[in-house]
Amino acid sequence: MDNNTFTFDENKWSSLKKDLKKTVGDTAYNNWLKHLNYVSFEETSITFSVPTKFLRDWIVNNYSDKIKNETKKYIKKIDIIKFVVKPSGGRIVPGTTRTIKSSDNHWKSTLDVRSNQTSNYPNEFGAPLDPRFTFDNFVVGKPNELAFAASQRVSEADKITFNPLFLCGGVGLGKTHLMHAIGWKIKQKQPDRKVIYLSAEKFMYQFVRALRYKDTSAFKEQFRSIDVLMIDDVQFISGKDNTQEEFFHTFNALIEQNKQIVISADKSPTDLDGVQERLKSRLGCGLVADIHPTTYELRLGILIEKAQKRGVEIPPKVLEFLSHRIISNVREMEGALNRLVAHGTLVGTPITIETAQLVLQDLLKSSNKKITIEEIQKKVAEHFNIRITDMHSPRRSRSVARPRQIAMYLAKSITSRSLPEIGRKFGGRDHTTVMHAVKKIEELKLADINFNEDLELLKRLIDS
Ligand code: ADP
Ligand code: MG
């Protein structure tokens, strides 16, 4: 091979990926290395990207040897391997490079010195809008007509009529859908108005970080150019006193500057627990639009619309059956429909009430699927590539202790088991150990957005 003309390209990258899959095995590959992307190559160094810092650290700490060995087969003179953080759909985050370097045949890992600083935070502000969540795709009925009309008004008016718009309703009833729809509509009709959508947790996280780095003025500065600010799921700000205080002031300042604010929560402002009275009344001083639990008619309407969008024929009787039987929320209903359609196309049988009953057995039995601690332990162990017995073992090394703590935390937040019960399932640990784990994970969640994202991903894996 002539080194002067050697290049590393996408083709080589795909066969390198196949090799990696072979060496680490399917599970580890799918959990971790699948997220690795090729960025660039220069003579003796190659750069890969991963979507989060958490993944970067995990991969470097656990797989750098294997990656090095496999890469060497393609690039003999390889000397430096770099890992940078690049959120999916985003750009490379500055200051996040971790480098592993070969010197005297001994590979060392170093972290870019800037990686613990906050230099990247303006890029992280706001979250992308989901293209499926538009007004066109939203089915209107009695339970959501006020929220729908108010959301449309906010997205069309040049003048602000109510501020804030507060959307409240239970899980899976369309709050997030409406907020994204507002965002899309404004982008389409008034592209020079700047809209930011983000979760309350992310908003709080930005606050905490700004406070920690004594940079609240820079934080507030970011809002100056925003015309519409949407914050989803504000029930999550409850209890965090000093951040609430800051939130309150920023909130007032924005309203004074005539910025439209849209808020959502699973309860009305007055019912929010752990939120200061002052903030509650401020949140409720615009329009509070309730989204009520779905009715049979609305559920049927939504199912008809969703079936049409997918271009599948489902007998009306089956749709009626589903609308009767799955009443908890729209998200669950959509899941049921997806499953039914998938079954129909895979097996090739017509969709009938009987097949629906068969395929959706678990959903129909109880709309609230019960998740067991054992399932959580299994999923978490798989995700972190440790043995399931490590969930019960006394080993304290961090590589098993942290996943174990995560599993305890998830057991506490997903199941209705008590702390002592959870402790027993983790090798007879004391309830205070579980409590400590829950606290630790909560701290990490707040301090590290990447960790938080990884945890959300795990939750979703377990829920599905
Ligand atoms: P929430 O934020 O209130 O928990 P979401 O907005 O995430 O709920 O809605 C859950 C799912 O149900 C989404 O896929 C959304 O598109 C769908 N959905 C909810 N309400 C409606 C509706 N009225 N019409 C169409 N889809 C809906
Ligand atoms: Mg939501």
pLDDT in tens, 293-322: 999 899 999 999 999 888 888 888 889 888
Q: Does residue 316 share a domain with residue 272? A: no
Question: Which ligand 1 atom lies nearest to the CA of residue 169?
Answer: 3
Rounded to the nearest angstrom, the distance between the alpha carbon of 433 and the centre of ligand 1 is 38
366 within some domain = no
64 within some domain = yes
Domain final residue, candidates 274, 291, 308: 291
Cα separation of 439 and 179, whole Å? Answer: 32
High-pLDDT (> 70) share of the chain, % = 91
Q: Does residue 151 share a domain with residue 102? A: no
Q: Does residue 316 share a domain with residue 284? A: no
> What mean pLDDT do residues 336-345 have?
88
126 within some domain = no
Q: What is the CATH number of the domain that holds 434?
A: 1.10.1750.10
Rounded to the nearest angstrom, the distance between the alpha carbon of 148 and the centre of ligand 2 is 15
DSSP notation for 377-416: HHHHHHHHT--GGGGTS----HHHHHHHHHHHHHHHHHS-
Task: Give the three-class secondary structure for 110.
Answer: strand
Rounded to the nearest angstrom, the distance between the alpha carbon of 437 and the centre of ligand 1 is 33
Cα separation of 423 and 387, whole Å? Answer: 18
Q: Does residue 267 share a domain with residue 176? A: yes
120 within some domain = no
Q: Whose CA is nearest to atom 19 of ligand 1?
A: 174
Q: Whose CA is nearest to atom 1 of ligand 1?
A: 172
364 within some domain = no
Question: Which ligand 1 atom lies nearest to the CA of residue 170?
Answer: 3
Report the domain count for the chain: 4
Pocket of ligand 1 (CB under 6 A): 133, 137-139, 144, 169, 171-177, 302, 330-331, 334
Q: Is the pLDDT of residue 292 over 60?
A: yes
Q: Is the pLDDT of residue 400 over 90?
A: yes
Question: Which ligand 1 atom lies nearest to the CA of residue 179?
Answer: 6
Q: Is the pLDDT of residue 36 over 80?
A: yes
Q: Whose CA is nearest to atom 21 of ligand 1?
A: 174
Q: Does residue 164 share a domain with residue 266? A: yes
Question: Which ligand 1 atom lies nearest to the CA of residue 178?
Answer: 6
pLDDT digits over 102-155, tens only?
A: 754 455 555 543 333 333 333 347 788 999 899 999 999 999 999 999 999 999
Domain final residue, candidates 347, 364, 386: 347
Rounded to the nearest angstrom, the distance between the alpha carbon of 330 and the centre of ligand 1 is 6
Sorted by sequence, the CB contacts under 8 Å of residue 239 that are 6+ apart come out as: 273, 274
159 within some domain = yes
Q: Does residue 95 share a domain with residue 179? A: no
pLDDT given at position 374: 93
Q: Does residue 327 share a domain with residue 213? A: no
Rounded to the nearest angstrom, the distance between the alpha carbon of 199 and the centre of ligand 2 is 9
DSSP assignment letter at 226: -
Q: Is the pLDDT of residue 167 over 90?
A: yes
pLDDT digits over 250-291, tens only?
A: 788 888 888 899 999 999 999 888 888 888 898 999 999 999
Structure tokens at 35: 């997220």
Domain extent, residue 51, equals: 3-111
Q: Does residue 170 share a domain with residue 99? A: no
Cα separation of 57 and 448, whole Å? Answer: 13
Question: Which ligand 1 atom lies nearest to the CA of residue 144?
Answer: 23
**Phi and psi (nearest 5°) for 48?**
-115, 155
Q: Does residue 287 share a domain with residue 184? A: yes
Q: Does residue 198 share a domain with residue 78? A: no
Q: Pocket of ligand 1, candidates 144, 148, 173, 295: which has the most ligand atoms within 8 Å of its Cβ, to mutate? A: 173
- What is the reported pTM? 0.57
Mean pLDDT over the full length of the chain:
84
361 within some domain = no
Rounded to the nearest angstrom, the distance between the alpha carbon of 167 and the centre of ligand 2 is 10
Confidence category of residue 157, pLDDT binned at 50, 70, 90: confident
118 within some domain = no
Q: Does residue 103 share a domain with residue 7? A: yes
